[in-house]
Homo-oligomer: A and B are copies of this chain.
Amino acid sequence: MPLRIDGQRSPLVAHLRCAIELTDAEIAALCSFTSGATQVPKNEALEREGEPRQAVQVVNSGWAIRHKEVPDGGRQILDFVLPGDIVGVEGSVVRRADHTVTALTDLEVSHVPFGRIDTLVREHPRLVNALIWSAARQQAVFAEHLLSLGRRNAYARVAHLLVEVWRRLSVRGLAVDHTFRMPVTQDVLADTLGLSVVHVNRTLAQLTRNGLAEKQRDSVKIVDLPGLVDAAQFDYGYLRDAPMPDEMLRNLERRPDGPGGGALRLARSRGPAAPVGQGG
């Protein structure tokens, strides 16, 4: 079973390193988290809205969602929790979770009791920065998602989500040449993007038709990254502290009048969408 003590291969370390410089000692300390990992089965909750948290948790592998329920049965998915993400960072101050986190796949999770966080921070004070950074990044993701729901149409929303997930994964070394695992049903996508399943399906089909990206059951293949970024009205500046992989920057260079997407129109907020060939 993949208990990775090797800091170079830990998604958590890979992702923190984007923003924060870490010494070997700090990396070793972080990896000591990962050593005691437990399995969480699919569909089980890591923490539940309104209930007290048990510990800070680090997801070593697998996907989860952060979500909230609405009185009449609906749910809104706030964000995906990817390998390397921390759940409940603010737990030592705010004990009750304000949203639920549920496993989308089987998970390998490390629990870090609050007391141990204190110890860790006392021994490596600079690691507080990592925690604060993680919380801030989380907030930035929420903000960007808010922008999506408020101001982008379905086409741009889906495109944006794909780019964002790709970016987050590739920083952690989990996306090779524009292809990555994404164990997410259209139903989940719908609840993330504030759309109906049917419309997600159609939008996905359109992205494929336009040669931008292809979503299979468990994976995504981004065919034309610049085109997708364009369709997403993606702000490359966002999450500035997580530098974009060289590869992405390289790809973006050929943007002005990029290949493949000749006729691609920008879907515009609130305005007419025109994402090429809606009428099937």
A interface list, Cβ under 8 A from B: 19, 49-50, 66, 68, 70-72, 74-76, 78, 90, 92-94, 96, 98-99, 129, 132-133, 135-140, 142-147, 149-152, 191, 193-194, 196, 233, 235, 237-241, 266, 268-271
Contact = CB atoms under 8 A, between A and B. Distances in A.
Given A50-B237, A139-B138, A149-B194, A74 B133 contact: no
Contact of A72 (B237, B240, B268): B268
B72 A266 contact: yes
A49 B237 contact: yes
B132 A240 contact: no
Given A93-B133, A142-B139, A70 B151 contact: yes
15 contacts: A49-B237, A68-B143, A78-B147, A90-B133, A90-B136, A93-B132, A93-B136, A96-B241, A98-B140, A98-B239, A98-B240, A132-B132, A135-B135, A139-B139, A149-B149
A150 B76 contact: yes
A145 B146 CA distance: 8
Contacts of A269: 70, 72, 74
Contacts of A268: 72
Contacts of A238: 98
A143 B96 contact: no
A233 B146 contact: no
Contact of A151 (B76, B90, B239): B76
A111 B136 CA distance: 20
Instruction: Enumerate the 9 nearest inter-chain pairs by beta-carbon distance, A residue then B residue, closest first.
Output: A150-B194, A149-B149, A90-B136, A74-B269, A142-B142, A76-B150, A98-B140, A93-B132, A76-B147
A60 B75 CA distance: 36
Contacts of A193: 150
Contacts of A237: 49-50
A187 B4 CA distance: 52
B70 A147 contact: yes
A70 B149 contact: no
Contacts of A142: 139, 142-143, 146
Contacts of A270: 74, 196
A147 B144 CA distance: 14
A132 B90 contact: yes
A144 B67 CA distance: 10
A107 B116 CA distance: 42
Given A98-B239, A132-B93, A150 B149 contact: yes
